[in-house]
Structure 1
């Protein structure tokens, strides 16, 4: 990578890592449904405007049902689960749990696509899950029922990212990434609208919350995807997906700097073990990370 491409990769990691900060700020006020509906609708509209500007407007008519399923599996469900977990977990912990996505993707691909799990991949999965256990065992978070449910929600979100990734590979072969992103965001937003109507937030909405929503939608999602497309085109998907390692690191950094979150030895060790598991799997180059 040249300096410009490396800078784009670091910026992408910073923006996707910041998504957990934005969610942590806005979710307790807006609730998961409203926050995520705003996120995907704003992001989808921004990406649609970009597609119009560059004259790459996608066509969804022939595959609209598939796009609805994609939006459900790869955006709506995992985004809402992460937003729910952010109410009770700090941004750092949520970001690290989300880093288990490649582990779940390998498991889903084995049972859905019949992809073989080598001994190395199995060891990598076990090491990664061990990292989650270490993270939980040494966490300073009080383990109430709500916290356990939030941890489960974060891991379920990672599982659905895996399901969504495999579904994309099976259903949208050859589809441009920009079309996938627009279709995914807008589909998720449309599905969520009826639920948003019956879950209107009652807490006062501050300027900080509004800025967090805009940051999540425009910076972490719209601009994040555009940076991702740029890197895939310039350096290829294998090098681009190394952002998987940067996202939890930036998630921790933003949580410490901006939310005064405390980082324990267990947090660092758990993160390192999870990342070691991903490396051992030797399958990270096939993953597309989505926040």
Structure 2
């Protein structure tokens, strides 16, 4: 029998969430998952920008993920629940550390000096890092795929050259590091044994990763500043939409679609982020932004095309 939940976990919001039923067809579920990931993670850059007004970067990443992980764990216990093995918990902690502690934490840190649209474009290099990791792991890489990697790096150079902020160089390096750790975490998630239940697997990854991130942030002296309505609203949005909903949707895509489909969010997110940053924050969209965006998205699309040819 699943463990009995505390009273607050049996509150109405959880009951409402459990009564929500996804589309019955496979295509409908894939479309719903893609929509959630595109919109949630595309808008998360704006939400992080607003939340950073009150939350330090590593603590922001840690708190929202550890709370979301606890919430997803309680949802998992309402389903057909099977306790994970020690190896599965360890593996989930490793993957969560890469995705949450390192990747999300570094992204939030870098966005203190990099605009939302610029950050989203740089994160679009995740598939390119994944190509490099695959080569290191022993998969043969075609020459065209290396051309795609070169295009991506050229796009980053153009983007950074057109950024006039004082800390753009350091912010760019940090965000590129976040993209690299995301690619490493995604690779490990496909190689390590994780719980079969999607909710439980996601809960352990983001919960353990968030807990490690929170502990490091507190040990480093990070503390929450004065809370404003905007930053609190952004934090809640990040916790429920960009973490709980989006990570479950992304996990579904990883399990039930091709890597090309699942990774498509990495080049759709910049379009959403640039549009929201320009409309709501008045971020300047320069010619370098347009050129670098086109070059980076072309490089990602080229790498996906070669991956599709290899699969065929």
Between 1:223-232 and 1:151-160, the stretch displaced more is: 223-232
Aligned position for 1:115: 139
Please tell me whether residue 76 in structure 1 is matched to residue 101 in structure 2. yes
**For the structure 1 residues 201 and 164, does the alpha-carbon distance in structure 2 shift closer, same or farther, using more than 3 Å as the test?**
same
Shift of 1:168: 2.0
Shift of 1:211: 0.9
Please tell me whether residue 47 in structure 1 is matched to residue 55 in structure 2. no
**For the structure 1 residues 266 and 87, does the alpha-carbon distance in structure 2 shift closer, same or farther, using more than 3 Å as the test?**
same
- Which residues of 2 match residues 169-208 of structure 1 at below 5 A? 169-172=190-193, 175-198=196-219, 199-201=221-223, 203-208=225-230
SS at match of 1:129: helix
Q: Give the one of 264, 277, 281 matched to 1:259.
A: 281
Distance in 1 (alpha carbons) for counterparts of 2:98 and 2:59: 18
**For the structure 1 residues 186 and 87, does the alpha-carbon distance in structure 2 shift closer, same or farther, using more than 3 Å as the test?**
same
Distance in 2 (alpha carbons) for counterparts of 1:34 and 1:240: 28
Please tell me whether residue 137 in structure 1 is matched to residue 161 in structure 2. yes
Shift of 1:191: 1.5
Distance in 1 (alpha carbons) for counterparts of 2:202 and 2:102: 15
Shift of 1:102: 0.6
Distance in 1 (alpha carbons) for counterparts of 2:72 and 2:307: 25
Please tell me whether residue 94 in structure 1 is matched to residue 86 in structure 2. no
Alignment size in residue pairs: 282
**For the structure 1 residues 234 and 67, does the alpha-carbon distance in structure 2 shift closer, same or farther, using more than 3 Å as the test?**
closer
Greater gyration radius = 2
Shift of 1:283: 6.7
SS at match of 1:87: coil
Distance in 2 (alpha carbons) for counterparts of 1:249 and 1:257: 12
Distance in 1 (alpha carbons) for counterparts of 2:189 and 2:99: 9
**For the structure 1 residues 116 and 81, does the alpha-carbon distance in structure 2 shift closer, same or farther, using more than 3 Å as the test?**
same
Q: Give the one of 60, 65, 81 matched to 2:90.
A: 65
Between 1:201-210 and 1:190-199, the stretch displaced more is: 190-199
Between 1:73-82 and 1:54-63, the stretch displaced more is: 54-63
Shift of 1:80: 1.1
Alpha-carbon RMSD: 2.6
Distance in 1 (alpha carbons) for counterparts of 2:162 and 2:293: 12
Shift of 1:237: 5.1
TM-score by length of 1: 0.86
Aligned position for 2:182: 161
TM-score by length of 2: 0.81
Q: Is the 8 A contact 1:134 1:269 kept in 2?
A: yes
Distance in 1 (alpha carbons) for counterparts of 2:158 and 2:175: 16
Aligned position for 2:6: none
Distance in 1 (alpha carbons) for counterparts of 2:120 and 2:58: 20
Distance in 1 (alpha carbons) for counterparts of 2:50 and 2:155: 26
